[in-house]
Amino acid sequence: MTSTPTTPTTAATREAYPFALAELVAEGIDVVAIDADLSVSTMGYQFGEMHPDRWLTVGVAEQNMVGIAAGLAAAGKTAFIASFASFLPGRCFDQLRTSVAQPKGGLNVKCVASHGGVTVGEDGMSAQAIEDLALATSLIPFDVVVPADFEEARQALIAVGQTTRPAYVRTGRPKVPGLYSNGYRFQIGRADRLREGSDVTLIACGILVGIAVQAAEALSAEGISARVLNMATIKPLDREAVIAAASETGAIVTAEEHQTHGGLGTAVARVLAETVPTPIAFVGVDRYGTSGKWDELLGYFELTPQRLAAAAREVIARKR
């Protein structure tokens, strides 16, 4: 629990949270972390075991949690708050807006929302957050990050902890195959090009990144060359990477475990509209869900390599 894996490992992104917090404390950052009775799931409790003086739980009270974090930040602390993505930001959006985002251009509060998207699984639609990125990206000073694997989550949480800006980081429940070793260097606002390609670019975040790589491999067998960008940072978006993808491949597919309104796809489409208008297809979740195992739900919602490949063929056909 105190050592960090050095090679890509199959783990849930949420498991990186306590490691990242401990590393920030070791760097001398004055961290206080708060949970709202879900610490066994957000993994915040592990940090509480390491640093009991820097961790507290406020009971089932997300609004109070945000206000406490704002007060801590106003007094100079780096405040982390954790809950499920269905409650954070949904249950406490007004508190994030009024008490965190608006004061002084944004207080130093980091939201770490676990169980993002539909892969929360059996808990069903009320627990499946497909709106959180739309809400979080609407908070003006916030950075918004959706890491793809354990190592990227660890580095992203450290990176946001090293700034004084507010941030929203979405982590996931299921264990997913690792993409990165600790030789990787995450940077806020920088896409990572996982695969070169010239016919189309698949731009994904979170659990869809690995699925996009599989889609690109399948397309390659048909002679279609697909670039894959891991766009972990939704805000600020890596505009240069999007423009380069549009200019060099001429077709874009976005993929996210979120509705297609207000998340990664919307952000990418805006850059294209402003710079290099390019055919684009959006893969996401535009209906409320149901119970099932997380991998079954990926199939149910067609968050699959097959669907991404089909979207790629469709968007390539629209190229002029």
Partner 1 sequence: MSIAVAPVSIDELKATARRLRAHIVRMVASAQSGHPGGSLSAVELGVALFWNHLRCDPANPGWPDRDRFILSKGHATPFYYGLLAERGYFGIDQLAGFRKLGSPLQGHPSMGAMPGVEMSSGSLGQGLSFAIGQSIAGKMDGRDYRCWVLMGDGELNEGQVWEAAMAVPHFGLGERIIALVDRNGIQNDGFADTIMKTNPPEMWRGFGWHVIECDGHDMAAVDQALAEAERPHDRPRCVVAYTTKGRGVSFMENNPSFHGKAPTGEQLETALKEIEAGL
Q: How far is the CB of 58 from partner 1 (least distance, A)?
A: 6
Question: Which C-beta is closer to partner 1: that of 65 or that of 303?
Answer: 65
- Please give the span between the terminal C-alpha atoms of the chain, in angstroms, as a whole number: 53
List of residues contacting partner 1 (CB under 8 A): 32, 53, 56, 58-59, 61, 63-77, 79, 94-95, 97-99, 102-104
Q: How far is the CB of 77 from partner 1 (least distance, A)?
A: 5
Structure tokens at 124: 């069903």
Question: Which C-beta is closer to partner 1: that of 51 or that of 261?
Answer: 51
Exactly one of 15, 62, 151, 256 is catalytic; name it. Answer: 62
Question: Which C-beta is closer to partner 1: that of 55 or that of 150?
Answer: 55
Q: How far is the CB of 19 from partner 1 (least distance, A)?
A: 22
Question: Which C-beta is closer to partner 1: that of 99 or that of 254?
Answer: 99
User: Is 62 an annotated catalytic residue?
Assistant: yes
Pairing between β-strand 143-145 and β-strand 200-204 as defined by DSSP bridges: unpaired
**Cα dihedral sign for 36, 40, 41, 45?**
positive
Question: Which C-beta is closer to partner 1: that of 79 or that of 194?
Answer: 79
Q: How far is the CB of 2 from partner 1 (least distance, A)?
A: 23
Q: How far is the CB of 131 from partner 1 (least distance, A)?
A: 20
Active site residues: 62
